[in-house]
Amino acid sequence: MAAVRYAGDVKEGQRGAQERWTVDGIEDSPHGPMARVEREDGLTFDVPLHVLPEGVREGDVLGVLDGPDGVTVERLPAETRARREEAQRRLEALNSTPGAGEEIDL
């Protein structure tokens, strides 16, 4: 699987902690649909969409694990939902008008 090149410090064939990738965007390219993903360390790169789980969309959190049978990439819907809810909470806090003497808590 092409995603093996992008797994951080996990060595080929060695089982390590599951990495978290966030799908930043999905675009068509001359080489077919590509997903721009961001690792936890902030590194971003493009991966062919076909190597990711079916139904992946922007904002999804992916668990990536390199094991003896290759790289496993799975969608993490509970973590995705929690991150989206937190982002919505922050957006609402930014858009609210604080009362006199109130501070915005982010």
Residue-wise pLDDT tens digits, 46-64: 999 999 999 999 999 999 9
In a domain, 8, yes or no: yes
- Residue 47's domain comprises 2-95
In a domain, 100, yes or no: no
Which residues touch 11 (CB under 8 Å, ≥6 apart)?
Answer: 66
Query: What is the per-residue pLDDT for 10?
Result: 43
In a domain, 9, yes or no: yes
Please count the structural domains in the chain: 1
The rounded distance, in Å, linking the Cα atoms of 53 and 103 is 42
Query: What is the per-residue pLDDT for 4?
Result: 44
Report pTM.
0.72
In a domain, 35, yes or no: yes
In a domain, 79, yes or no: yes
Query: What is the per-residue pLDDT for 101?
Result: 63
Here the tokens at position 10 are 């996990």
In a domain, 101, yes or no: no
In a domain, 102, yes or no: no
Half-sphere exposure at residue 74, Cβ-oriented, CA atoms within 13 angstroms: 9
In a domain, 106, yes or no: no
